[in-house]
Amino acid sequence: TFLANALLKARHASARARLAALADDSGLEVDALGGRPGVESARYAHPGASDTENLERLLDELAAVPSPERRARYQCVIVLVRGADDPQPLIARGSWQGHIATSPRGLGGFGYDPVFVPEGSARTAAELDPAEKNAVSHRGQALRELIAMLGQQGYIAAP
């Protein structure tokens, strides 16, 4: 799961550094593909695949799927551990709903951004400017949630 991966990364980093550590795991889930690519998003085509290869595999698998059935979402889980064995890590989540376009558009972003069309938008994530994207993206949501948690627990001034 995204949570298990983020927790594993954060605990490993904390153990190595002997400090608090922050890690995330993110990916794209497509309903018509049973939630794939999911946690395999970065290596969907094959281990070490480029963004282009992953994108091509996704579009190939969705070629016969009509637009109304191409619902998808980006997911992000951010974990903060205060030590490698932190029994209560801070866990923040974000989810960005949308659908998969039939062909890539836009030059910004990375990964699946050229085919991910956010709900309520006609543009792909790759066509959004960075500030626009960060205001609504799964990572932006999760980061804002983590900042709020840090404020509630007195680690930082409440936003």
Percent of all residues in the chain with a pLDDT value above 70, rounded to a whole number: 99
Taking only the tens place, the pLDDT of each residue in 103-148 is 999 998 889 999 999 999 999 999 999 999 999 999 999 999 999 9
Q: Annotated catalytic, 85?
A: no
Confidence of residue 158 (pLDDT cuts 50, 70, 90): low
Looking at residue 159, what is its pLDDT? Answer: 60
Give the helix/strand (H/E) hosting 18: none
Give dist(CA 25, CA 57) in Å, integer: 21
| Mean pLDDT of the region 22-50 | 97
Closest CA to 137 of 155, 115, 119: 119
Six-digit token string for 150: 């840090």
Q: How far is CA 3 from CA 9, 89, 98, 117, 158, in A?
A: 10, 11, 21, 24, 25
Q: Which domains does the chain have, with CATH numbers?
A: 2-152 (3.90.950.10)
What does the mean pLDDT of the chain come to? 95
Instruction: Give Cα separations from 139 to 25, 47, 55, 93, 144 (angstroms).
Output: 10, 23, 20, 8, 8
Q: Bridge-partner residues for 96, per DSSP?
A: 74
Q: Output b/e per residue, 83-118; b: 16+ Cβ within 10 A.
A: ebebeebbbbbbebebbbbeebbbeebebbbbbbbb
Predicted structure pTM score: 0.91
Q: Which of 25, 31, 113, 129 is labelled catalytic?
A: 25
